[in-house]
Amino acid sequence: MNRTRVGVIRGGQSTEYDVSLKTGQTVLSHLADSNFDVRDVLIDRQGTWHLHGRPMDPIRVLDQIDVFFIALHGSYGENGELQQYLDAHSKAYTGTGPLGSALSMHKASAKRALEGAPYRFAEHRVMVVDDYTDEAVLELFTTFMMPAVVKPMDGGSSVATALVRTRRELAAALREVFEVSATALIENYIRGREVTVAVAEGFRGENLYVFPPIEIAYTNSDFFDYKEKYADEGGARELCPAPFDRATTQALMEHARHVHRELGLRDYSRSDFMVTKQGDVFFLEVNTLPGLTPTSLVPKAIDAVGAKLPHFLEHVIERALAR
C-alpha cells in the first residue's frame, strides 16, 4: 500500500526565511516516524523550488506530493499567493485558504474585518513608502500619540518592528520597515501584559479547540521583539497557562475563537493580545501559520495540555486530506 506523500514547504522569499527553515525542520523531524512518506520541499530566497535538496520545476514537485504542510512564514506563505497556486492545481494543503490568509496578513484589513468585536484595537496610522518624507514624519510625530510601535503591514516574527518615542526613532523605524515592505503600520503602544492564544479545528473532538493562553514576560525590552522571540538564552519567558483570573482567561480564549471564525481561518491559528492593568483586552494580530520552532509558542501550548506535537501535526494533515 502506498503511503501518503507529505511535502513540507519551508524557506520562501520573505524576511522570515530563517524562522521558516526552523519550523519546517521541526515538522520534518516530528513526522519522521509517522506513517506518511515525508518529503522536504525548500523554496530558496530566489524562489527556486527544491525537492530533497535538488532544484526542480514546481509542477514536477506538485506531481510528487499528495498534501503539503505549509511551514512558510511571511509573504507568499501567509499572504494567500501560495494557497492560490495550490488551489489552482487542486493540491491539498494545511492551513487557511487564500482569502483568509490575505485578510489576516494585512493587519489594518484584519482590524476592519473585526470591527464590532468584544475586544479593543490600538489606534493606528498607515504610511506607504512613496509618501515617506521628512515632512510626513514630522506630521505623524506631532499628531499621533507616542510612544508607538512601527511594523510592516504584512510581516511577522517582529522583523523590522520597533518601539519609538522620538521623531528620530520614528524616522529610523519607518526606513527599516520600508526596506522589507511597501507599507508601514504605526500603532499606539499599549502598556500591559502580552498574551497569545492558539486554536485548532477538530482537535480533541471539539469544533474549535482553544489552548490555554500564554503570557509573554519580556526580559530585555518593552515588547516582544525578534531577539526576545528567538534568543537561545536570556529571551522572553512564556508562562503557560498564563496566570490570569478565570474571567480574563475565558475572555481571551473566546476572543481567539472569535478571531479565527470571523476572519475565515482554517485548521489552526494563534492570536496575540494585550491585557491592560484595567483589564481591557486589545487585539494585536493573528498568525495563520504560527511558528513551530523549538522556541515557538504553539508547541508550548500543545505540551501544556498534555498533547504531543507529532499527533497535532498528523491531525492537521488529516484535515487537509479530508477537504
Per-residue pLDDT of the chain (323 residues; tens, 9 = 90+): 689 999 999 999 888 899 999 999 999 999 999 999 999 999 999 999 999 999 999 999 999 999 999 999 988 889 999 999 999 999 999 999 999 999 999 999 999 999 999 999 999 999 999 999 999 999 999 999 999 999 999 876 567 899 999 999 999 999 999 998 999 999 999 999 999 999 999 999 999 999 999 999 876 556 555 555 555 555 678 899 999 999 999 999 999 999 999 999 999 999 999 999 999 999 999 999 999 998 899 999 999 999 999 999 999 999 999 99
Q: What pLDDT is stored for residue 234 in this prediction?
A: 53
Three-state secondary-structure class, residue 265: coil
pLDDT in tens, 301-323: 999 999 999 999 999 999 999 99
With CA atoms as reference, report the closest residue to 250 among 276, 212, 214, 216. 212
Q: What pLDDT is stored for residue 237 in this prediction?
A: 84
Q: What pLDDT is stored for residue 165 in this prediction?
A: 96
Q: What pLDDT is stored for residue 246 in this prediction?
A: 96
Q: What pLDDT is stored for residue 219 in this prediction?
A: 65
Domains along the chain with CATH numbers: 5-95 (3.40.50.20), 103-118+191-322 (3.30.470.20), 123-188 (3.30.1490.20)
Q: What pLDDT is stored for residue 225 in this prediction?
A: 53
Q: What pLDDT is stored for residue 221 in this prediction?
A: 58
Q: What is d(CA 291, CA 316) in angstroms, rounded to the nearest whole number?
A: 14
| Contact predicate 271/104, CB 8 Å | no
- Cis preceding-peptide flag for 58 (omega within 30 of 0): no
Give the three cell numbers for residue 169: 526613532
Q: What is the pTM of this model?
A: 0.91
